[in-house]
Amino acid sequence: MRRKNQAAAQLGKLGGKARALALSPEQRIESARRAAHARWSIKMDNLVAEIADGTKELLRTVKKRQRLLPGRKRKR
């Protein structure tokens, strides 16, 4: 198993905090806004894809059931 370099681990822990302290409040807000937008845009893309897949499946089911209804004439 590989051992972590303790000095590098300590610096890594300080990286995010040091960066946050170096940024102005406006820069932190903008960074947080961009991060939230990135997270939500991915979730929305996945949601839209799931809805599209569900809609296609629903349409297939409706068409299949319509074909099975008695007394219905087929359109040619």
Model pLDDT for residues 32-76, shown as the tens digit of each residue? 999 888 888 888 888 888 888 888 888 888 887 777 777 656 565
Distance CA 29, CA 67 (A): 56
On whether residue 5 sits in a domain, the answer given is: no
Q: Global pTM?
A: 0.44
Q: Which domain holds residue 39?
A: 15-68
Query: Would you give the end-to-end CA distance of the chain in angstroms?
Result: 69
Residue 30's pLDDT band, with cuts at 50, 70 and 90, is: very high
On whether residue 76 sits in a domain, the answer given is: no
On whether residue 74 sits in a domain, the answer given is: no
2-25 per-position pLDDT tens digit: 777 888 777 777 777 778 888 999
